[in-house]
């Protein structure tokens, strides 16, 4: 009887050892997978190419960043026809400016991620594509970009004042939105950012003045200097925010993935 109990105890002990070993193996495997997951994502973020994000998505279709990777993988230009944008290989870097009847030059489009990358050497945007507007940039970040751009080009770019922005938005007309009373014709507000210039321009040839991303101005939001004026609405807001007369204020150090800008030049 004692021998049977001893054998039984040995068997139970053996099973417990096997379970502990198996449990440790599963834990170790999970740790290794988590490390591989993080390294793959870090590589994609550093590389910034469509291919890198697609590789992450293939390896981790249900990973923590799968939704973002899927968005980037499906919206980037194909690597067969487009080279990655880098400081040494900027694509479409030149800022297209429109001479306004008010006498200033204003960016035809919002500043793109490729243009930011060419000047700053990095891309802070959450939704990455070369011809998407750069976003996730604070007012303070934009001041650094402008200083670098002016040094690089020898020109004097700046943010528009709120008055200049509103005049450019209305373009001598009195529409509900910047260029039309029909928001769908001129604004992107459907839950995701878009390449610049995909909607119709206003009467002065400016695109995306309503929708896509909110745009910083140089003006203070109130007399207490609590923030800077932003206008135009964004992809992440209702059409109400894109109305030409709507005004909002953000703190100058805030970062949002629906916040960008366009430039003016005297």
CA distance 83 to 50: 10
pLDDT score at 164: 98
CA angle, corner 228, sides to 68 and 175, nearest 5?
A: 80
Crossing angle (nearest 10°) for helices 66-75 and 50-59: 140
pLDDT score at 81: 34
H-helix or E-strand containing 17? helix 2-47
Please answer whether residues 228 and 139 qualify as being in contact, where contact means their C-beta atoms are separated by less than 8 angstroms. Answer: yes
- The first and second tokens of residue 135, run together, are 């976003």
User: Beta partners for 85?
Assistant: none
Please answer whether residues 141 and 120 qualify as being in contact, where contact means their C-beta atoms are separated by less than 8 angstroms. Answer: no
pLDDT score at 257: 92
Strands (E), the chain: 97-99, 105-107, 157-158, 214-220, 228-231, 248-250, 259-260, 264-265
Going by their DSSP bridges, the two strands 157-158 and 264-265 should be labelled as antiparallel
Show pLDDT as tens, one digit a residue, over the chain (266 residues): 555 555 555 666 665 666 666 666 667 777 777 888 888 888 777 666 666 777 788 788 888 888 777 767 665 443 333 344 444 444 446 789 999 999 999 999 999 998 998 899 888 998 888 889 999 999 999 999 999 999 988 999 999 999 999 999 999 999 999 999 999 998 888 778 888 998 999 999 999 999 999 999 999 998 878 899 999 999 999 898 899 989 999 999 999 999 999 999 98
CA distance 257 to 124: 9
CA distance 175 to 173: 6
pLDDT score at 87: 46
Phi, psi for 165 (deg, rounded to 5): -65, -45
What is the four-CA torsion angle of 174, 176, 179, 183, rounded to 10 degrees? -170
pLDDT score at 35: 83
pLDDT score at 40: 83
Please answer whether residues 159 and 151 qualify as being in contact, where contact means their C-beta atoms are separated by less than 8 angstroms. Answer: no
pLDDT score at 39: 86
Please answer whether residues 261 and 215 qualify as being in contact, where contact means their C-beta atoms are separated by less than 8 angstroms. Answer: yes
pLDDT score at 161: 98
Q: Is 109 helix (H, G, I), strand (E, B) or coil?
A: coil
The residue among 213, 245, 249 whose CA lies nearest residue 228 is 249
CA distance 125 to 117: 10
Structural domain 97-265, CATH architecture: Alpha-Beta Complex (3.90)
CA angle, corner 64, sides to 58 and 65, nearest 5?
A: 65
């Amino acid at each position: 009887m004692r021998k049977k109990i001893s054998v039984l105890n040995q068997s139970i002990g053996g099973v417990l050892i096997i379970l502990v070993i198996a449990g440790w193996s599963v834990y170790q495997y999970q740790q290794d997978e988590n490390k591989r997951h993080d390294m793959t994502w870090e590589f994609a973020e550093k590389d910034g190419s469509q291919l890198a994000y697609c590789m992450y998505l293939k390896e981790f279709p249900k990973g923590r960043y799968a939704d973002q990777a899927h968005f980037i993988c499906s919206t980037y230009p194909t690597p067969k026809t487009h080279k990655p944008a880098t400081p040494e290989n900027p694509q479409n870097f030149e800022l297209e400016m429109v001479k306004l009847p008010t006498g200033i030059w204003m960016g035809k489009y919002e500043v793109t991620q490729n243009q930011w990358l060419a000047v700053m050497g990095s891309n802070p945007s959450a939704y990455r594509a070369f011809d998407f507007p750069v976003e996730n940039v604070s007012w303070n970040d934009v001041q650094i970009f402008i200083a670098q751009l002016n040094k690089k080009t020898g020109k004097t770019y700046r943010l528009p004042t709120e008055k200049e922005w509103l005049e450019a938005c209305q373009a001598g007309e009195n529409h509900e939105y910047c260029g039309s009373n029909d928001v769908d014709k001129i604004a992107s507000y459907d839950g995701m950012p878009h390449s610049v210039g995909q909607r119709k321009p206003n009467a002065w040839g400016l695109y995306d003045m309503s929708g896509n991303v909110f745009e910083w101005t140089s003006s203070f939001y109130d007399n207490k200097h609590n923030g800077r004026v932003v206008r135009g609405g964004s992809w992440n807001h209702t059409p109400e925010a894109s109305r030409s007369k709507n005004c909002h204020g953000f703190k100058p150090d805030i970062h949002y993935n629906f916040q960008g800008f366009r430039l003016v030049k005297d």
